[in-house]
Structures are given as structure tokens and as C-alpha cells.
Amino acid sequence: MQIKNKTIWITGASSGIGEALTYAFAEAGAAKIIISGRRVAELERVKNTCPGNPEIIIRPLDVAEHDAVTAAGKEVEATQGGVDILVNNAGISQRGTVLETGLEVDKRIMDVDFFGTVALTKAVLPGMVARRSGMLVAMSSLSGKMGVPQRSAYSAAKHALHGFFDALRAENTHHGIKVLLVCPGYIRTDISKNALDSDGKKAGKMDENQENGMSPEELAQRILQAIRKEEREIYVGGKEKLGVFLKRFFPGILAGILAKRGASGEN
């Protein structure tokens, strides 16, 4: 799908990957970009920093408030002339083992990472189907392809996105709907600082792997390329991408590597 003159809605646009995507879409000639997140001051900053000249609409949204998400989806579809590309990017990660983590933390991560995305997608999809055109982008992770230590709920939520969006694609390809699942490895953002620990508090620590990861700007360019080429699923990052290959062809080797990591407590 072409990006020029399109209306794009990005959740989690107040930092990291969502912020980089906002700038990349603007530079690529998007006509209108709706940016969402909970921190309005950060959304204002992104709007003021944004290059190019798209119309930027700030739409504050907590994706864990599912009724509000449904209402926002319907409102934006009705008032903004229809969303061409919805980027479901908002998400929180996790640092805590299954043994130590309370069920409330698991539910919180599912509410943000999975049900938030589902609620918004369901609100926007009917308009896309009526127009017989639209692209849904879901921010998964390499943790959506393999279960990673200290990220059980996060891995579960990201795996769930694959089931949901693969089924949605199968049901709606004949309606002109495209679906792209993005699986990044380590990207240099605040994701590990914002991750929930076993008590549901912010982990507050920049992981070494994150610090040394790919820039969000490079990932954003790869995502735009995948949108233009209408790819279905992409893996982006450094050598951690090999995990997807190992999982498919040598699952025992990957299980061994991850078990070693689980035993060491490494993030």
C-alpha cells in the first residue's frame, strides 16, 4: 500500500517505535496522522517535532480502557474521513518469572498488548471493509514467535496477536484488507524501563541488549517498506532473529539456549 496522502493512526506514538514511525510516515507524505498514547505532553512534543507537513491529530487513549478504545475507534473513523493504515503499536513488556509473577500482572499485560489491540481493530475494521481498503499493522515481537524467559505474559500476548490477525486476514482478504505482523528483536527504546516486574511495578532498568539494539528509526523504515510491499510478517533486528529459524528447524537447540538464559536470570 502506498503511504502518500493516506490517513494513518498510530497507538503508542508518545515514544520509541511509535514516535519514530510518526516521523517516518510524515516524511513519506502521509496526509494525516492520528497519534495516541496516555502522555499528552509527550504527544504534543512529537507533534511539534514532526517533520513534513501532515495534519497531526492528538487523540489521547489508554488502550487498556476497552470501552473507551471502542468509542475512540468509532469516533475517529466517523470524524477523520476513514483510517487507511492502523498501527497497533502501544505495548508494555515484562521482567519477572512465572513463579514470582501475580496473575494481575499477566492480566494487565494481556489487557494492554492483546485486548487493547483487538478492541481498536474491531472498531476500525468495519469502515475499512466498507471502503474495501485498509491495512492493519500489529506490533508483535520475536517474543511472539518463541517464549522468552521473564516474559511469559508478554510472549503469550504477542503470540495471541498472531492467531488473531492471521484469522482476521483469512476472513478479510477478499474485503481488500491487508495485515502486517511486525516482529522486532532488540530495539533501542525505553521498553525495558517501562516493563512490569513481578509485582506490576515499572522495572525501571535499561537492559544491555536494548541499549545495544537497532535504532527505532531503522525499524520504522523497514516497517514502511513492508507496508509498501504489502508483506504479511517481518522479523527485524540483529542476530536474535536467528531464533525464528532455530524454532522452526532446530527447536531443541533453541529450547536449550533459552533454558540456559532462564537459569542465568539474564534479560
Q: Which residues are designated catalytic?
A: 154
| Cα-based distances in Å from 43 to 19, 53, 109, 205 | 9, 16, 22, 23
**Span 41-100, contacts to ligand NDP by CB under 6 A:** 42, 61-64, 89-93
Least Å distance between CB 209 and ligand NDP?
8
Q: Torsion angle, CA of 116/122/123/128, rounded to 10 degrees? A: 130
**Span 89-148, contacts to ligand NDP by CB under 6 A:** 89-93, 112, 139, 141
Closer residue to ligand NDP (CB): 134 or 184:
184
Listed ranges 13-21, 25-33, 73-81, 223-231: which one lies at the site for ligand NDP (CB under 6 A): 13-21
Least Å distance between CB 251 and ligand NDP?
21
In contact, 159 and 165? CB cutoff 8 Å: no
d(CA 208, CA 211): 5
d(CA 143, CA 91): 13
Listed ranges 35-43, 96-104, 123-131, 167-175: which one lies at the site for ligand NDP (CB under 6 A): 35-43
In contact, 124 and 85? CB cutoff 8 Å: no
Centre a 10 Å sphere on the Cβ of residue 51 and count the other Cβ atoms it contains: 10
**Span 198-227, contacts to ligand NDP by CB under 6 A:** 210, 213
Using rule CB under 6 A, residue 39 touches ligand NDP? yes
Using alpha carbons, select from 33, 34, 37, 32 the residue that is nearest to residue 14. Answer: 37
| Cα-based distances in Å from 226 to 118, 153, 170, 187, 229 | 22, 27, 19, 17, 5
Least Å distance between CB 266 and ligand NDP?
15
* x/- track of binding to ligand NDP for residues 153-192 (CB under 6 A): -------------------------------x-xx-xxx-
Closer residue to ligand NDP (CB): 44 or 166:
44
Task: Write out the residues near ligand NDP by the rule CB under 6 A.
Answer: 11-12, 14-18, 37-39, 42, 61-64, 89-93, 112, 139, 141, 184, 186-187, 189-191, 194, 210, 213
